[in-house]
Chain A
Amino acid sequence: MARYLTVRALLGLIAISGVVLLTFVLQFLVPGDPARRVAGPRADEVVLQTVRANLHLDDPVTTQLATYVVRTAQGDLGVSYQRRRPVIDMLLERLPATLLLAGAGLVIEIVLGSLVGVWDGLRRRRSPALAAMNILLLSIPTYTLGFLLLYVFGYKLDLLPLSGGPGLPELVLPALTLGLFGVPYYASVVAESIRVAASSPYARTAVAKGLTPRQVMRGHLLRNCLSPVITLAGLDIAIYVSGVIFVESVFGWPGIGLLAQESFVNLDRPVLMGTVILGAVVVIGFNLVADVVRAYVDPRTRTDPA
């Protein structure tokens, strides 16, 4: 396991480097002049020149990249063009809000998805109502659902705030938008696992011991659904992170996603790079954690013999 994790961490580092390189180059393809954004629309050429010099925007791209890579390797993500503050501080400031939203969404999709999945998996045939709901959820784009929830609960019923945060009332709608989307996926995975487990020989053994249906379910079937759920969460994390960024923008939730969007609009390159690196680290780190947890709940996936 230790060796496996080291290899995975190294591969992760390579992936992050790739992401850094790609994003860095792509930034220069975005039209617009960062100096102009900093200096304002009415600044004259002299001011612009000074700003460019200060931000090293006139250096060749390769020099800028080299400087950036060296600094990043030392843990320095630079300073925001716009706010003149260290990027690290800005990220850390926004991180709790994002973790709250991402965590809430994840809990919703896993808990709700698993409940629905267990219910469906215990039926002899798939529930047609559930199948219809799945198709509906799968075919509505995220933004439609987000705006729909906003319209109904925020505007029409006026129950919840339209945007902002990071308080609990503001959390409800973005977390629901984020979570509801995952429900069909988790529900299908759990339902399928329950079906497979319930008709397995080990379930028959459990029944043959005289266990109650509840004991069979809790002690034997559910445990065997954990591994696929964790696998799905690991596979889904990259898409999930992009969902977080999107939902934060729609609902004005003051997290990393909103910061990424603002920095993109403002051509604030160091901040944008910072959010991208953080996203990549989260995706890779989450996958590592998922592997460790899965090895814990399913001993067959442990690579080294114990």
Chain B
Amino acid sequence: MSDLAIVDVGVSYGRFVAVRDVTLAVPAGTTLALVGESGSGKSSLAHAIARLLPPGTGLTGSVQVGGRELASLRGRDLRDVRGRVVSYLAQDAMAALNPVMRVGRQVGEVFARHQGLSRRESAGRAGDLLRRVGIQAPDLVARKFPHELSGGMRQRVMIAIALALAPEVLVADEPTTALDVTVQAEILALVRALQAERGFAIVWITHDMGVVAEIADDVAVMYGGRIVEQGPVRDVFAAPAHPYTRALIEAAREQPDTAAKARFLTIVGQPPAGELPSGCSFHPRCPVAIDRCSTERPGSRLIGEGRHAACHLAG
């Protein structure tokens, strides 16, 4: 299995820049959690890594898996990489499964496409795979339509599709947000077990600090399209360097049980939309901002063992 390296990645929808200068490294077998408020650009970055941005979207920078560049791939080369080198797990499994196709075929389709298997062979492989993701009666489930399954089952089916071809990288965009806590725990355990067995790298997007602690080795915090802090989960949680990270962790501690999205609302002010503020994007909401913050944008600096932060006051 190979490492994922993201260098200076930018995403723009027309003139709107959703992601800027993102540089991250996810070694094989490890999990990077990506956190941040709604609209901070997490999904855009996820789609950039999985090469799933809508046509016409601007993608700059480099996305490498085991040294192979994905960002510049097109056409057939790109299609061969999808599902085989990098896979994507969506937030809402109900919406991410085709409502009018039996789930067995939706899983089997991957084998038909990449390994040229016949329908019958694909169906057989789909059954095996469904069993692997913890579905008890795979043959029965394979004949169901998505709406006939529970939320947890649907997400297991999605995991089966994503991991069918043993990809090197799994990009998961809040796949447990819509699930209740017990099911969420089951899904996390399943993904962790599969990762331990196969050693793929994971980029896991979430709003939930509990999930970060549960699943991730490293965490990256996104604000206004940029990574403002990154480092090992334990270190960042113990001593957050960026005031925004501090506010996120603080908010999660104060209201551990409220809905994940609501937690961020306790940070005063609105996240930036459209035009970014001058200097540090966070300075209008920052409790400790100094004059310099409104004029000079802080670059990302090394502030400790494997830790980076973009704040004039950090380190």
Contacts and interface: CB of A to CB of B under 8 A. Distances in A.
Chain B: interface secondary structure?
mixed
Given A202-B99, A297-B100, A209 B110 contact: yes
B95 interface: yes
B84 A210 contact: yes
Given A298-B100, A300-B145, A202 B109 contact: no
A216 B81 CA distance: 16
Contact of A209 (B54, B83, B95, B145): B83
A303 interface: no
A202 B83 contact: no
B52 A207 contact: yes
Given A208-B82, A210-B114, A220 B90 contact: no
Interface string A222-254: 011011000000000000000000000000000
Interface string A31-71: 00000000000000000000000000000000000000000
A204 B96 contact: yes
A220 B82 contact: no
A265 interface: no
A208 B52 contact: yes
A223 B158 CA distance: 20
A238 B106 CA distance: 38
A201 B96 contact: yes
Q: What interface size band does chain A fall in? A: 20 to 34
A128 to B, nearest CB: 19
B57 interface: no
Given A201-B90, A205-B161, A210-B114, A298 B99 contact: yes
Contacts of A224: 98-100
Contacts of B161: 205, 209
A220 B55 CA distance: 18
Given A210-B81, A210-B84, A306-B148, A300 B99 contact: yes
B97 A205 contact: yes
Interface in A174-206: 199-202, 204-206
B88 A219 contact: no
B303 to A, nearest CB: 36
B52 A204 contact: yes
A80 B96 CA distance: 60
Contact of A219 (B55, B92, B109, B158): B109
B128 interface: no
B74 interface: no
Contacts of A207: 52, 82
Contact of A220 (B54, B87, B98): B98
Interface of A: 124, 199-202, 204-212, 215, 219-220, 223-224, 226-227, 297-300, 305-306
- 6 shortest A-B CB distances, which residue pairs? A210-B82, A201-B95, A201-B96, A299-B145, A210-B83, A210-B79
